[in-house]
Structure 1
């Protein structure tokens, strides 16, 4: 019973919708006919009227499209009115000036250039690239000093190249080995045998082999040789752990070790 009622309601709704559409179309036609004042007594009058309307439409100037208005283009129908009086060798020139939007953009760039010059090179309100770079270096040094002075877990950030000490504690060496594998092995090999970077298991060192030298090299890097400074990625405790691990693998003679480089210590 419920299904029958549902279908009946659906049928009635669709019928009402179709009837409403038909009524609207009839009203539309009626309104259009009511608003059309043109009445033709014969077919000849209708044809004459249509011919006159077509003639008027042909004489109307071509309307500019939105694209023509944006670009400042003139329609082709106006080309005969744009021809300038003088010509050379049968070649005429159109009086078609540069679009206004282009001129606004052109003069705008000139005004911007003048303002930029006054701001950065005359008045000095803005900082040049060199000044911004110098300010960033100063800020980076201040941030580095602040980071070193912050007390970390167990004083991790208080350790630096002046007070670092080598450790043989097993937990320290394990932590250093894990860090070495993540950050150092791509250049120095998994066992410190050396690949792109030098061998870290022999007695020869390019930048010193003491605990303070190794700590300093890791911390500040060797930019001219492609080694980055790790002071912004690791705290003092982590760098000290890696340093202790490097000292612990001295003399391990891993297979495929790179030839010695630097001075013997």
Structure 2
């Protein structure tokens, strides 16, 4: 085996040296994969042949040693065959796995298990319940007592009704969190016109913080167009307004707000802008774009 280890190491080192003898530059094409596979198969075949040769050499050495110095032959002790009746009696005297598991006594020992008292010719055997079964039975009693003390006496555990109420409360919280998250999953196709008070208040706050500088505090228009008339450069529906705010109009100097505002904020401010139609603020900017009803 030492020779085999030395030879394998030599083959590995020779293959490594072969692979590193002429390193290719970084910008050269990749090496021939087929040649690498062929070399690997050759090395593997050589190792298998070497292993087979060493095994045969060892076998020949053992054969030669046995021919020169034969090992003494030991005869097995002769065992007399048993009669069928004796074999049957020995077999029946050995308890089976099921008998051992249940801890039962064999039928052959029944005469030794008969108890002293009897009634009307009927005797009782002293063949008690297996110990493992009794421990299991006692364990159920201990479990029942512990269950009663834990749930019904000290009230440490939760009953089914309490668990139901707790799970329903947790489900309600998860539902509210999901709906709040789903409320932000709005785009220019799914946004709906909503002029409710809560939406208008939220949208006005967003407008005041981000849009006043270009469109005026009343939407009358400054640098940006007037948002209160019937003329629109990029559409006056809530979907069009949402899209304009989300993606912006970079060629006109309006930045896209999708990275600054949430989808819900864009929807709210879009609805607030829709609510400004016909408000007729003082000093409005001249109309721009196409008229929309």
| TM-score between both structures, scaled by the size of structure 1 | 0.43
| TM-score between both structures, scaled by the size of structure 2 | 0.39
User: Rg larger in 1 or in 2?
Assistant: 2
